[in-house]
Structure 1
Amino acid sequence: MNFSFQIANRYIRSKKGAKFLSLISVITIAGISLGIAVLIMAISILSGFDKTVSENIIKFNAHINISGFSSKNLPNYDSNYKIIENALRGKYSSISPYISQKVLITKTDFTDGILLTGIDSGYAEQSLKKILVEGNLNLNSNEFNVIIGKKLAVNLKVMVGDFINVISMRNDEIPSLSNFPTIEQFKITGIYESGMAEYDDIYAYVNFETAKSIFEIKNEVSGFNINVKNISEIDSLKDKLQSILPYPYYTRGYREINKHIFTWLELQQKPIPIVLGLIIIVAIFNIVGALLMLIIQKTEAIGVLKSMGANRKQIIQIFVFQGLFLAGVGIILGNFLAFILSWIQNTYKIISLPSQIYYLSSVPIFIDVKVYILISLLGIILAFLASLIPSFIASRIQPIKAIKFN
């Protein structure tokens, strides 16, 4: 066994027995493992938020939305549908027109305002089917069926099979003596849960032809929902569509539509460099402090080693090996702790969140192997650099003074 490594191994262990680590070593390892675990958890939680929220938004929304400026309906949608189709040149997976209008829904003594949207069967299969938790997608054109969000269902105290009243304005205008609102009764055939309370509370879906009928709309639509085959092409395709479609067509990607959510996510990531810096400083002080205390304890032994012929390089290696050992054990334990805590949270949802504020009902943690590897490598590099300072101090100790130290 290498001389420096053998001495370092003996210094790490307690005086009472070779089977146990010294108290200083245990405290140092505990500090490093906690720091590594906290850092991995912080990055994993932020990654989990970004990934989960993005997936929920994409799952619920189309990649590209085309609507009218100031919520105006779009005329001649048949001809413009062909323009959109030709512009995308097979790069889309679906193009679905929709009709959307604000309505009031009532059930016994509860009334609420929602956005009632008429969709075709293709969009229902592609988007709503993924998040449907109760009932089915039975939105036939000859039946007044509706699919609502889970939060709205809780507020209304309804379930699949119940009926609700929908009050809508003709031509999307304020009701008057000459413009009475229409009142229709809809049967709830499905309940969806997107994972984001702000969507589940205000969006309800009916058949496209049913929406045209109750809103008295003929050759117009509120917009188009487009899903593309390659998400990386969303921005370029969106810009292309905007350049060829006439006023009042307005094209946006899913990130623009939900800009407030993604801005909030970016804001959460800003403190990470500060947290990272503080944890690194604490870890460095842990290693430096532990090695300096060991040097004080082993000053006489260092003097004996040097008097027996140990050179400066070997003394430096002894304490660098010790620093790397402490860091290595701490990093392994920190990785294990972070993984166990992440698995427990993802499995049992112990930490819950108010979904109306955080868009999610529990803290999501994304377990990314790359994050674990990068943080572990960073920890090893910092441990090596931190070990050099006390190692050089130990190597400069003079044998005679060291032997007389105690």
Structure 2
Amino acid sequence: MNFALYVARRIYSGKEAGKQVSKPAIRIAMLGIAIGLAVMIVSVAVVIGFKNEIRSKVVGFGSHIQISNFDSSLSYETRPVVTNDSIMKVISSLQGVKHVQRFSTKPGMIKTNNAFQGMVLKGVGQEFDPTFFRKHLLEGEIPSFSDSSSSNEVLISKSLANKLRLKLGDKILTYFIQSEVRARKLTVKGIYQTNFSEYDNLFLLTDIHTVNRLNHWDPVQSTGLEIQVKNYDELNKVAQEIYGHVDKQVDKYGGVYYVQTIEELNPSVFAWLGLLDMNVWVILILMIGVAGFTMISGLLIIILERTNMIGILKALGAKNFGIREIFLYFSVFLIGKGMLWGNIVGLLFCFIQSKFQIFKLNPETYYIDHVPVEFNIWLFLLLNIGTFIVSVLMLLGPSYLISRIHPAKSIQFE
């Protein structure tokens, strides 16, 4: 058996491991490791959960990739492109593409007896994927969207419904300004809530036939296509493939196809999410530093307390490296125990928060009403491995103190 490991185990498991001087130092060192690892696990889980939650809402309203008219202005008063079955089949056949759907937009205004509100009427076809809105649906149901007839039914957000004092089944008058003011009476078929106010306060969802008629567009035209990808990590790769097929191509009406990813369409949102990564790195560095320095302090105290033992081992012929191994093994046991408790606390917090959502957020500021957490097994393992390696490496320097202890003096040390 490895002599250093054997002695370290005896010190760790024996009654002598609890001496009056080293006992508090050992507990503080383990507590530092446990708290540091727990904070890192929670921080990473919260940031991943928050980024994925916000990203899913942005993608839910605009999909991963959009094809629109290059000549469209930055407003929602857009110019159309041809989005017939042939181009949809071409895009759908590309590797990495999950779903393709048409959409058209028309800015307008809602007016009730007591208030009015600017909005964008967004029309979608029968191929529309309602998964996102069904997840956030509070009342009613998703209307049946058609590209050949008008349902005159809309899906609105709860925030708009509250502002305009609307409820399920109410009739609302919408106005659209072109060469003349056009009005449409629509029925509230469903109410949803995503807490993403930038979109909740803006969009009404209806069928594409209604919006195309308001825009005076042919049935084969629309504002563009929304494309979902199978794997978000391959977003740019799929976008490049789509670029090669349609970008800058001209349709029969003179419209120029223009491809943009969701990150290009919403640069401010994704830049904000990118800043969260820097916050996580700061937390990780601080926590590993705190945990490492508490372990250094504990190791130095233990070495000083074991000076007499070190002197005896040296007098018996033990080398400095062998004695250093004993204390490094002993430190590994302490780090392991601290990490065990850190994992328990961190994972328990994540589990409780994911199930009961105890900690709340202001949805007007954070676009979500609770602290989201998402567990990633690979990042969890990486955190544990990284914490262990860094903590052990930080102890290599202080362990050199053993080489400066002289047997003759240390045997007499009390």
- The residue number in structure 2 matching 1:202 is 202
Count of residue pairs the alignment pairs up: 394
- The residue number in structure 1 matching 2:23 is 22
Evaluate the alpha carbon distance shift between residue 338 and residue 311 of structure 1 in structure 2; reply closer, same or farther with a 3 A threshold: same
- The residue number in structure 2 matching 1:119 is 124
- The residue number in structure 2 matching 1:211 is 211
Distance apart, 1:327 and its partner CA: 0.9
1:398 to 390, 395, 406: 406
What secondary structure, in the 3-state scheme, does the structure 2 residue paired with 1:191 have? Answer: strand
Q: Residues 239-388 of structure 1 correspond to what in structure 2 (within 5 A)?
A: 239-240=243-244, 241-245=246-250, 247-388=255-396
Question: Which shifted more, 52-61 or 334-343?
Answer: 52-61
| Residue ranges of structure 2 left out of the alignment (5+ in a row) | none
Structure 2 residue 190 is the aligned partner of structure 1 residue 190: yes
Structure 2 residue 57 is the aligned partner of structure 1 residue 56: yes
Contact 1:107–1:165 (CA under 8 A) maintained in structure 2: yes
Evaluate the alpha carbon distance shift between residue 15 and residue 93 of structure 1 in structure 2; reply closer, same or farther with a 3 A threshold: closer
- The residue number in structure 2 matching 1:176 is none
Instruction: Determine what percentage of the aligned residue pairs are the same residue.
Output: 27
Contact 2:81–2:223 (CA under 8 A) maintained in structure 1: no
| Residue ranges of structure 1 left out of the alignment (5+ in a row) | 174-178
Contact 1:134–1:192 (CA under 8 A) maintained in structure 2: yes
What secondary structure, in the 3-state scheme, does the structure 2 residue paired with 1:371 have? Answer: helix
Evaluate the alpha carbon distance shift between residue 102 and residue 75 of structure 1 in structure 2; reply closer, same or farther with a 3 A threshold: closer
- The residue number in structure 2 matching 1:39 is 40
Distance in 1, matches of 2:389 and 2:98, equals 47
Distance apart, 1:193 and its partner CA: 2.9
* Counterpart code for 1:107: T
Evaluate the alpha carbon distance shift between residue 94 and residue 10 of structure 1 in structure 2; reply closer, same or farther with a 3 A threshold: closer
- The residue number in structure 2 matching 1:234 is 238
Evaluate the alpha carbon distance shift between residue 43 and residue 126 of structure 1 in structure 2; reply closer, same or farther with a 3 A threshold: closer
- The residue number in structure 1 matching 2:88 is 85
Distance apart, 1:216 and its partner CA: 4.7
Q: TM-score, with normalisation over the residues of structure 1?
A: 0.86
- The residue number in structure 2 matching 1:167 is 175
Distance in 2, matches of 1:351 and 1:202, equals 28
Distance in 2, matches of 1:66 and 1:257, equals 11
Q: Residues 119-138 of structure 1 correspond to what in structure 2 (within 5 A)?
A: 119-123=124-128, 125=130, 128-138=133-143
Distance in 2, matches of 1:182 and 1:243, equals 33
Distance apart, 1:123 and its partner CA: 0.9
Question: Which shifted more, 223-232 or 266-275?
Answer: 223-232
Q: Deviations over 1:182-207 (max 9, x none)?
A: 33332111122335232222111112
Contact 1:117–1:205 (CA under 8 A) maintained in structure 2: yes
Distance in 2, matches of 1:300 and 1:403, equals 5
Q: Deviations over 1:52-106 (max 9, x none)?
A: 22223333322322223215644573xx535623642623554433321111113
Contact 1:73–1:223 (CA under 8 A) maintained in structure 2: no
Contact 2:296–2:398 (CA under 8 A) maintained in structure 1: yes
* Counterpart code for 1:50: K
2:107 to 102, 106, 117: 102
Contact 1:63–1:253 (CA under 8 A) maintained in structure 2: yes
Contact 1:74–1:249 (CA under 8 A) maintained in structure 2: no
* Counterpart code for 1:198: E
Distance apart, 1:127 and its partner CA: 5.2
Contact 1:32–1:327 (CA under 8 A) maintained in structure 2: yes
Distance in 2, matches of 1:291 and 1:94, equals 58
Distance in 1, matches of 2:291 and 2:391, equals 8
Contact 1:37–1:335 (CA under 8 A) maintained in structure 2: yes
Distance in 2, matches of 1:63 and 1:279, equals 35
Distance in 2, matches of 1:341 and 1:89, equals 42
Evaluate the alpha carbon distance shift between residue 75 and residue 183 of structure 1 in structure 2; reply closer, same or farther with a 3 A threshold: closer
* Counterpart code for 2:139: E
Distance apart, 1:381 and its partner CA: 1.6
What secondary structure, in the 3-state scheme, does the structure 2 residue paired with 1:375 have? Answer: helix
- State the Cα RMSD in Å: 2.8
Evaluate the alpha carbon distance shift between residue 82 and residue 154 of structure 1 in structure 2; reply closer, same or farther with a 3 A threshold: same
Contact 1:312–1:396 (CA under 8 A) maintained in structure 2: no
2:153 to 145, 148, 155: 145
What secondary structure, in the 3-state scheme, does the structure 2 residue paired with 1:244 have? Answer: coil
